[in-house]
Structure 1
Amino acid sequence: MRKLLTFFLLYFYGITVNAQTAQVLPSDTVPAIIHYKTENGITKFSSELRPLRPIAGAPAPFYTYFWEFGDGGFSFEESPSHILRYDSIMVRLFATNNYDDGKRPPTRPKPIIRPPGPKPTVAKPMLASNGGYNLFKMGGNIEMKTNCMPKPGDDMMLVLGYRNKIENGQNNLNGTLAILYNDVEFSQNNFELAEARTYHNEKKSDLKSLLNTAFLKNKNQEPVYYASSEKHFSLSPVEKVLLKDQAKAFKSQQSWKFENLQQNEERFVFMHFKTTPEMLKDTNAVVRIAGAFIPDNPLVETEFFTLELQIVASHDPNKMVLRKSRMNYRFTGKNRELTYKVRFQNTGKGPAKKIDVGVNISEVFDPTTLKVVKTKPEVANCDSAYANQSCLKTSFSADSVHFVFTNIYLPGMQQKGVKDADSTQGFVEYKIKFKEKPPKLPIKSGAAIVFDKNEPIYTNRAVGRFKMGLSPGIIVGYGFPFETDNGNYLNGKNFVLGASLSPYATHRYYWQVELYFNSFKENTYQVPIATEVRKDTVMNGVAYQILDKKHYQTTKVSTINAVPLQMRYNINKYLGAGAGALVALDLYHRTSDELRYRLRTINAQGVAIEVDHNRNLGRVNENFSDLRVSFFADIQLGLVRVGPALGFRYIFDPKTNNNRMSTYVSWKF
């Protein structure tokens, strides 16, 4: 009795503890709460977010931030300061939870009213130095940055910055700004542009007016390009081709006209993208978003900026990416070069001086072809570095390669005084070739990153996959009747000609369909009858004696044969096996009956004469009269993936219990 009482006490205690625990778990639906305080015309922002929930075995979780201040300004800092340009603005915070097993905190815009007092003076209406972020790190007129990698069904913010560099030599610049998204190589749309917020009177325009540029020649036979909407706008031939090529690569686009862009002025457009739930589920795939800066002045070059974004299942700053992970196997050979990029970020409280990026290399690659393309931080090769110089050492083992950054200084995100998250990030990008044409199987690679002497951080697995591709083929067979299964068709031909369709060069299981040319068969055979020989008969006034009477039946059949369902398996490149169903359908079936007589008569000279006489009894026509299904299994020898092969097929018809064997030659292209 005491044990039973103890059991119930422990049971109810467990329910109470679990209920209390469930109450204190942070809700994913709690939005980010924005706090602010203004002093001396400068507003300091901070936030209140739900507690993070660590993932077992992962590094400590943390938030990254993207602030949009509602006046054209922004920041990626945790607690930024900003000078308000307007009396009232709408501030948004997009917080991203890294290494956290919950959802991102929802964004709730917060209206901010500037307190009374003198308005601050700002020399340039929008400069990144206004508590914002130095976006232009590549030195161009256009640059873009997102607050996170795209996650299916989640939101993503993109800031597009454009400027008029001093090098342009133009005091005021007009032109077009465009954003291109949803790669044509993917059947589904990956993004929806929910909203685009502009703050410098940018007006929506039609990019087609630039793509449909007219072409004329002047008297000197020099090409002149202009757009129908702009009298003085011109595109060089190269720029026109580049713009059209960029537009063709994407299914969706949006563009704006901008005016009076002052020298050294920076402007920003904020785009709220919703990643569709149907987004490509391959979390190793890379999607692109491209921006275009198209000035009206032909003396200023048209510029493009492309972001390569990896689709993710969770937000993690340490990632491995394979560019163009979907490959066409037909055109993949020994000299095909793949490009990998391993990104890493120091999320600690102090700087990292040594970073070891270990990558496992698939056996299909040739390690001697590996080339380091680019690194961040940019360092020399250790083989040519002087003592204590920052350098990169590349070393190989049996199935891996290690990229070791030595004598570097990579700040930590939690380090005091570090505000630029980009300064805590790095990467190594390399290219590598195949040993030979690889098997048509997924190619998987992963990385482990060690900061100084800490525990390794493991990245996702970058997977390269081959597109299915289609392989047509021809089939020539003998001994496979492919005709109506009628026992009276004794003289049917055993030669067939057909075609097949299957995935290209599959290494394992795959489906295949086959279709054979219509066969036409005509047969005449005798039908047994009880012969009643009459002694005489009269035809056309002449008396005859019936010597013989036979009943013959003639059939004409047109049949189509197909294999709508067949599973095959390539054991290796020389041996394959398969099983499936063969369907035969009679498109046309005609049956006619005839009586054939042997007659004898006596002519006027008294000589006996024998003659033949036929009498038609009628005919019957039927369409789609018979459908037959047989089952088969076969083996193939030869180049079973691509090329010629010899096959042996056993067929069984369960309706008639007919067993047949056939041999055929197939050739896949």
Structure 2
Amino acid sequence: MKIWFTVLYLFLIPYIAGAQIDSSLVEQDTFVSVIHTQIVDHKIAFKSELRPLVQVPGGRAPFYTYLWDFGDGHFSTAAEPIHQYQKAGDYEVTVYAVNNYDDGRKPKRPKKKVTVNSALASLEASPSPFEESFFTSNGIFQLFKNSDAKPGEDMAVVAGVNTNGKKGKVLLLTNEKVAGLDGFVLAGQSNYYNEKTDSALQHKEINSLWANVKQSTFTKTGSPDYGIKEERAFVSPNEAIAYFSDLHTAYNSLATYEIDGSQSETQFTLINLDITEDMLVDTNAIVTITGVFIPEDGIANVHQMDVPVVKSHDPNKMSIRPARMNYRFQKKNKELTYKVQFQNDGEGDAKNIRLEMFLPGEVDLKTFRLQALYPQCDSCLTADMRGCYQYDIKEDGTLTFHFKDISLPGTGAPDITDQDSTKGFILFTVQTDKKLKNKAFKSYTNIYFDKNPPIKTNNATSRFRKVFSPLVTLGASSTFGTPTNNDIQYKFKPGVQFGVGIAPIAPYRKPYWQAELYTSTFKEEATHPLTAAEGVIQYIDENGRNTEAKYNSYTINSKKDFMTVQVPVQIRFNINSFLSTGAGVSLRADFNLKHQESITYDTENANGVNFQITLPQEVEKDKMSPIKINPFWDINVGRVYLGPALGIRVAYDVHQKASAGIYGIWRF
């Protein structure tokens, strides 16, 4: 018996071990990452040892970017920072490293406990260059991300507040409803300044919070800053409630915490967000994270941060917003927002940067509107042409944007301390000149740094959400000719039909399914062949007397009213926006609503005069017919994507033979 237990245990070891592995969103490398420290002039110098980067074959040189968390509420983005602690104690230091242009796995996140004694501590603050240049948008409140959103990984967001000694509340809004996915999950938050995390705010509490706001400043950044700043004063609490309620309801997720300005004049909070793999459908999209800081004096700051969703950490990329649209509600002149990002990874400054953008044919390039750019410079149409930009449309439809005589530092320069200074971007909007077809459309950019070969970005793809289109039909149907079966001649009278159905919304140049449920009515008249037979019938004549008559033949006639229930299933194809066709089969059952039958006798009276007598017969209604399978072919003419159209359907039934229906259809 022990032998069998041993064999079973050995067999199950791989499964038991696999079940005990702590699974993460993305498989990490097995390299042991460490942090090294060294005392330099009563400060601590930090250096990380991460796995060697793996260059993509034929790709650009990979590199790491860093976010250091010193464990005391201070941060740095330097590769090898030096930090001055203000208080003695034990601190846990973490480095968040992002592997750019790398073909390897996500590096492990190293941590190290450092002990600071009184000899190393200094009450004099020594902010890092990252902290000194943090509040570029409004000087009060801002968000920073250490990377773009790569599904399956996580992202560190730093929320910075210049409190001016005031208490207040910070709200973080994530998961835009327009994106359709809850791609960000709150995984953790620091509390270096005794931040008090709130539970879910009730409706009355949050409205009371909005009502206390007297003024708000809105700023927006990507990487780097957009330079967008809008100020707004509220004349009444209701106006403030309406403004912030619209902002709040645009997102699915809300995280809040309270801060106390007495803890520190400047406070930084690190928030960890897991990025779910559901966001894989939106890579190359731009989503936003919005932070709101409401101090006790009611002078609020709203900071919105654009976050590109990416498949890999590549600083040269193109993004689009919206990445997923609703076909049902689109307008003819749909506005699309594009962002092209680039980074100089050389050692010298880039002087001329040219972006050649290939946009879909549905876009009207004449509607190009520049929203923001970096490096900041004026148009070359101004008097001062030193350090300027210009754009034009080539004959092949390429939109070219040119930075001329600028100076964008390279990541390889020895004096670079701010990685954002090596990055540039343009943010612009264009409009479509007609309604878009229900298909994915792609854009990309070739980026030229000085005289170097072009760098091709990813494809920025926008597509429509996969939703269903309900439909309603109303029409009439009729049978061709007068079918005959076993010498019984049938006549069918037209009836009405009403139905509902469902199909994918507005498929473009690809087959699709459509299912319906509809009911229709029709009348059937049947005439049996003349039967030669002799007999006597009794009937009541016009005077009310019982009378007998001899007959020598008779004919049976019947009339039936039917209601039909059908479930048609078909494969359709939209030939263009005005014509579609389909074929399929319909499961059909007929229900007999009314049944009348009579017999007409050919008789002769005593005087030898021939005449006919028709007598009604008592009959039972038919039971439900067996379920039949009827093939059919269908064509629609009109607005076959959405809206009204006219349809013709030809079907075959064993009993009725060929029948046709004409109907109106409306797709919603």
Question: TM-score band (shorter)?
Answer: 0.7 to 0.9
Query: Aligned letter for 1:110?
Result: K
The one-character-per-residue Cα deviations of 1:283-304 (angstroms, maximum 9, x if unpaired) are: 1222222211122223xx1222
The one-character-per-residue Cα deviations of 1:534-574 (angstroms, maximum 9, x if unpaired) are: 458899x978456376666564432123433332222x334
The one-character-per-residue Cα deviations of 1:475-524 (angstroms, maximum 9, x if unpaired) are: 45455559xx9966522315544455545554323536364652234545
Deviates more, 1:340-349 or 1:518-527: 518-527
Query: What is the Cα deviation at residue 308 of structure 1?
Result: 1.8
- Alignment-derived partner of residue 58 in structure 1: 59
1:583 aligns with 2:582: no
Query: Aligned letter for 1:204?
Result: T
CA contact (8 A) 2:498 2:520 kept: no
Query: What is the Cα deviation at residue 159 of structure 1?
Result: 1.2
> 1:106-145 residue pairs with structure 2 within 5 A?
106-114=108-116, 116-123=117-124, 128-129=127-128, 132=131, 134-145=133-144
CA contact (8 A) 1:632 1:649 kept: yes
SS in 1 for 2:194: coil
1:157 aligns with 2:156: yes
Which of 373, 376, 379 matches 1:375? 373
- Alignment-derived partner of residue 69 in structure 1: 70
The separation in 2 between residues aligned to 1:536 and 1:339, in whole angstroms, is 89
CA contact (8 A) 2:560 2:596 kept: no
Query: What is the Cα deviation at residue 44 of structure 1?
Result: 0.8
For residues 334 and 296 of structure 1, do their structure 2 counterparts lie closer, same or farther at Cα, with a shift above 3 Å needed?
Answer: same
Query: What is the Cα deviation at residue 469 of structure 1?
Result: 6.1
The separation in 1 between residues aligned to 2:108 and 2:208, in whole angstroms, is 50
> 1:18-57 residue pairs with structure 2 within 5 A?
28-57=29-58
Query: What is the Cα deviation at residue 185 of structure 1?
Result: 2.7
CA contact (8 A) 1:178 1:207 kept: no
RMSD value, Cα: 3.9
The separation in 1 between residues aligned to 2:569 and 2:424, in whole angstroms, is 53
Query: Aligned letter for 2:633?
Result: A
SS in 2 for 1:237: helix
Deviates more, 1:523-532 or 1:43-52: 523-532
For residues 411 and 529 of structure 1, do their structure 2 counterparts lie closer, same or farther at Cα, with a shift above 3 Å needed?
Answer: same
- Alignment-derived partner of residue 17 in structure 1: none
- Alignment-derived partner of residue 90 in structure 1: 92
- Alignment-derived partner of residue 184 in structure 2: 191
Which of 287, 304, 324 matches 1:326? 324
The one-character-per-residue Cα deviations of 1:231-273 (angstroms, maximum 9, x if unpaired) are: xxx994333223322221122221112223478x211111121
The separation in 2 between residues aligned to 1:609 and 1:407, in whole angstroms, is 111
The one-character-per-residue Cα deviations of 1:426-465 (angstroms, maximum 9, x if unpaired) are: 1112222334444443332111112222222111111232
CA contact (8 A) 1:358 1:401 kept: yes
For residues 212 and 559 of structure 1, do their structure 2 counterparts lie closer, same or farther at Cα, with a shift above 3 Å needed?
Answer: farther
Deviates more, 1:628-637 or 1:511-520: 511-520
For residues 140 and 490 of structure 1, do their structure 2 counterparts lie closer, same or farther at Cα, with a shift above 3 Å needed?
Answer: farther
Deviates more, 1:252-261 or 1:316-325: 252-261
Deviates more, 1:72-81 or 1:238-247: 238-247
CA contact (8 A) 2:358 2:444 kept: yes
For residues 374 and 385 of structure 1, do their structure 2 counterparts lie closer, same or farther at Cα, with a shift above 3 Å needed?
Answer: farther
The separation in 2 between residues aligned to 1:534 and 1:444, in whole angstroms, is 85
1:573 aligns with 2:567: no
- Alignment-derived partner of residue 250 in structure 1: 251
For residues 56 and 585 of structure 1, do their structure 2 counterparts lie closer, same or farther at Cα, with a shift above 3 Å needed?
Answer: farther
> 1:546-561 residue pairs with structure 2 within 5 A?
547=551, 555-561=560-566
The separation in 1 between residues aligned to 2:603 and 2:583, in whole angstroms, is 60
- Alignment-derived partner of residue 279 in structure 1: 279
Query: What is the Cα deviation at residue 418 of structure 1?
Result: 0.6
The separation in 1 between residues aligned to 2:203 and 2:598, in whole angstroms, is 82
For residues 610 and 51 of structure 1, do their structure 2 counterparts lie closer, same or farther at Cα, with a shift above 3 Å needed?
Answer: closer
Query: What is the Cα deviation at residue 102 of structure 1?
Result: 1.8
Which of 370, 389, 393 matches 1:392? 389
Query: What is the Cα deviation at residue 380 of structure 1?
Result: 1.0
Query: What is the Cα deviation at residue 394 of structure 1?
Result: 1.6
SS in 1 for 2:245: helix
> 1:506-525 residue pairs with structure 2 within 5 A?
506-509=507-510, 511=512, 513=514, 515=516, 517-521=518-522, 523=524, 525=526
The separation in 1 between residues aligned to 2:78 and 2:410, in whole angstroms, is 14
TM-score of the superposition, structure 2-length normalised?
A: 0.80
For residues 567 and 600 of structure 1, do their structure 2 counterparts lie closer, same or farther at Cα, with a shift above 3 Å needed?
Answer: closer
Deviates more, 1:640-649 or 1:192-201: 640-649
Query: What is the Cα deviation at residue 78 of structure 1?
Result: 0.8
Deviates more, 1:65-74 or 1:105-114: 105-114
Which of 89, 105, 123 matches 1:103? 105
Query: What is the Cα deviation at residue 163 of structure 1?
Result: 1.7
Query: What is the Cα deviation at residue 591 of structure 1?
Result: 8.0
The separation in 2 between residues aligned to 1:391 and 1:537, in whole angstroms, is 111
Query: Aligned letter for 1:142?
Result: F
Q: Which runs of 5+ in 2 are unaligned?
A: 1-26, 214-234
CA contact (8 A) 2:550 2:605 kept: no
CA contact (8 A) 1:59 1:457 kept: no
CA contact (8 A) 1:509 1:568 kept: yes
SS in 1 for 2:279: coil
> 1:78-477 residue pairs with structure 2 within 5 A?
78-84=79-85, 85-114=87-116, 116-123=117-124, 128-129=127-128, 132=131, 134-165=133-164, 172-206=165-199, 208-209=201-202, 212=205, 236-261=237-262, 265-298=265-298, 301-329=299-327, 332-333=330-331, 335-386=333-384, 389-398=386-395, 399-467=397-465, 475-477=473-475
Query: Aligned letter for 2:161?
Result: Y
CA contact (8 A) 2:556 2:599 kept: yes
The one-character-per-residue Cα deviations of 1:193-231 (angstroms, maximum 9, x if unpaired) are: 111122111112145247545789xxxxxx9869xxxxx
Query: Aligned letter for 2:136?
Result: K
Query: What is the Cα deviation at residue 344 of structure 1?
Result: 0.9
Query: What is the Cα deviation at residue 532 of structure 1?
Result: 6.1
The separation in 1 between residues aligned to 2:411 and 2:468, in whole angstroms, is 49
Q: Which runs of 5+ in 1 are unaligned?
A: 1-25, 166-171, 217-222, 227-233
Query: What is the Cα deviation at residue 141 of structure 1?
Result: 2.2
Query: What is the Cα deviation at residue 90 of structure 1?
Result: 1.5
SS in 2 for 1:242: helix
CA contact (8 A) 1:65 1:77 kept: yes
SS in 2 for 1:56: coil
For residues 70 and 351 of structure 1, do their structure 2 counterparts lie closer, same or farther at Cα, with a shift above 3 Å needed?
Answer: same
Query: What is the Cα deviation at residue 28 of structure 1?
Result: 2.3
SS in 2 for 1:383: coil
CA contact (8 A) 2:286 2:309 kept: yes
The separation in 2 between residues aligned to 1:94 and 1:67, in whole angstroms, is 6
The separation in 2 between residues aligned to 1:404 and 1:470, in whole angstroms, is 43
Deviates more, 1:148-157 or 1:574-583: 574-583
For residues 192 and 112 of structure 1, do their structure 2 counterparts lie closer, same or farther at Cα, with a shift above 3 Å needed?
Answer: same
Query: Aligned letter for 1:293?
Result: F
Of all paired residues, the percent bearing the same amino acid is 29
Query: Aligned letter for 1:192?
Result: V
CA contact (8 A) 1:526 1:553 kept: yes
The separation in 2 between residues aligned to 1:27 and 1:473, in whole angstroms, is 49
The separation in 2 between residues aligned to 1:413 and 1:386, in whole angstroms, is 29
CA contact (8 A) 1:379 1:391 kept: yes
CA contact (8 A) 2:652 2:658 kept: yes
The separation in 1 between residues aligned to 2:613 and 2:645, in whole angstroms, is 56
Query: What is the Cα deviation at residue 79 of structure 1?
Result: 0.8
